[in-house]
Copies of this chain bind each other. A is one copy, B any other.
């Protein structure tokens, strides 16, 4: 059987657009004489539709769309994901389903059995779990269709198994020789390698072909990298789709070797930070465009975070659609004008200079009766950040530009940022990028020629909200901070474990209590693009009014 794997970028809820992409790719697959074309999970609605699933008319629109596709796509078998209704009046009302249809008829339906309900996933909120794990005869082969998580319970690869059944095993027992997995499997660093390991192992040890058709594109903060693939019965990868863009690849499942198409291993990002940069560029483009914008604005401080964000924005949307704004105050060092100007020139974005001291003085004059003779503190620093935030929002409002915020993950973690100030924005482009990785990305961007001026990379990081301030006055060195933060946030280590792994107890307590205390700021943060295993935002849900104190605090 000649199979096309179509990796498309659906827009959540845009049934018309998504259908047109599906028909386009099905047509191309038919033109290549394929027997079957495989699309991704919930491709009709886009993944994840979240609480749109609670709207009856949304579910009906998705079903009508499926009916039209069944009717309109002829001459090739199609597997695609959709939302089905649970016909039984007990249990959750929906299924996360796949249909195999051909020439006007749905031949086979399956419901997802393993429903991820952790991190950014809420599938048990909406869906009843499927129970049937059968192999199905189609065009002379026995196929088993799984939906994303269904394939993620292999005991040789998955250390902690949170489900009680393994659909893959049951399908293989049922005689399946070809396993097809339709997915909306998000990107994070290392995920591509993990998938290849998992799917290759499943194929090899069960002597089955394995097809992986993944969604690509960004939906809010969740980024799907694509890299759809096909593995032969020895577990060798025989086809691989591009990462971070739409693509189609082919696989012939008839032969024992599974080879019949050439040039099927498409180029994907190398190791290191390249895939992270591609993910951020795709995520920024998709968020801005899917929200209906084409232009963005951001503040350039002269620091590395905003420089990186400006570069990503220009790559995502074209430099002509990016406005960079430099907003100096009395505390801004003289170099910064030159550095930001040079950066904007190198990248090609628009550039405006709007000094903030006049407004700042007026605020201080106004507030002096309330402030009395108090010594200046964080309050004055926040006022400056909020003036800048207000200026950027004014440009956003007047010019119809989405504002990008530029804070990195390390700052956001410890609250080294101003709510309603530099946190303002519709998208927090690098809020899942630790400061140390910000430097790695800048070096990668400059690998062939200097795009981000070297002085921006080399200067000591500073918020420049008071005289001679540098980040290191308030924070430990970023290498150490980022290690503690990774342990605490991504690896869920407690204070004692962090101390045991070699960090200074006082420092650990200081850092993690800052993380906890600043939960309220992150609650009001813009959505950020997720590239690690645990990003702030949707997948990390902490109470705000809480008093849990890590045991080491009291020692």
Contact = CB atoms under 8 A, between A and B. Distances in A.
Contacts of A31: none
B358 A370 contact: no
A57 B387 CA distance: 42
A548 B398 contact: no
Nearest to A521: B426
A69 to B, nearest CB: 18
Contacts of A218: 545
B398 A374 contact: yes
Nearest to A538: B541
Contacts of A2: none
A286 to B, nearest CB: 7
Contact of A494 (B14, B57, B424): B57
A390 interface: yes
Nearest to A288: B545
Contact of A390 (B54, B370, B390): B390
A91 B220 contact: no
Contacts of A51: 540-542
A57 B496 contact: yes
Interface in A58-115: 58, 61, 89-93
Interface in A25-74: 46, 48-52, 54-58, 61
Contacts of A331: none
Given A52-B542, A286-B545, A383 B394 contact: yes
A17 B547 CA distance: 10
B52 A548 contact: yes
Contact of A547 (B13, B54, B90, B492): B13
B492 A54 contact: yes
A289 to B, nearest CB: 8
Contact of A363 (B17, B359, B367, B424): B359
B50 A543 contact: yes
A550 B57 contact: yes
Contacts of A551: 57, 61
Interface in A351-403: 352, 354-356, 358-359, 362-363, 365-367, 370-371, 374, 377-379, 382-383, 386-387, 389-391, 393-395, 397-398
A112 to B, nearest CB: 14
A163 interface: yes
Given A359-B366, A366-B358, A370-B398, A547 B117 contact: no
A492 B56 contact: yes
Query: Which of A354, A370, A420, A494 is the most central at the interface, judged by chain B CB atoms within 10 Å of its CB?
Result: A420
Nearest to A125: B117
Contacts of A377: 397-398
Contacts of A550: 57
Interface of A: 11-14, 17, 46, 48-52, 54-58, 61, 89-93, 117-118, 122, 124-125, 160-164, 218-220, 286-287, 290-291, 352, 354-356, 358-359, 362-363, 365-367, 370-371, 374, 377-379, 382-383, 386-387, 389-391, 393-395, 397-398, 419-420, 424, 426, 492, 494-497, 520, 523-527, 540-551
29 contacts: A11-B545, A13-B549, A14-B548, A51-B540, A52-B548, A55-B492, A57-B495, A57-B496, A57-B551, A89-B160, A89-B161, A122-B125, A287-B545, A354-B367, A358-B362, A358-B365, A358-B366, A359-B362, A370-B394, A370-B395, A377-B397, A377-B398, A379-B394, A382-B393, A386-B386, A420-B420, A524-B524, A524-B525, A527-B544
Given A220-B543, A290-B545, A379-B398, 12 more contacts: A11-B545, A12-B546, A50-B543, A51-B542, A117-B117, A117-B124, A290-B546, A379-B397, A382-B393, A386-B420, A420-B424, A524-B524
Closest 4 CB pairs of A and B: A13-B548, A57-B494, A290-B545, A12-B546
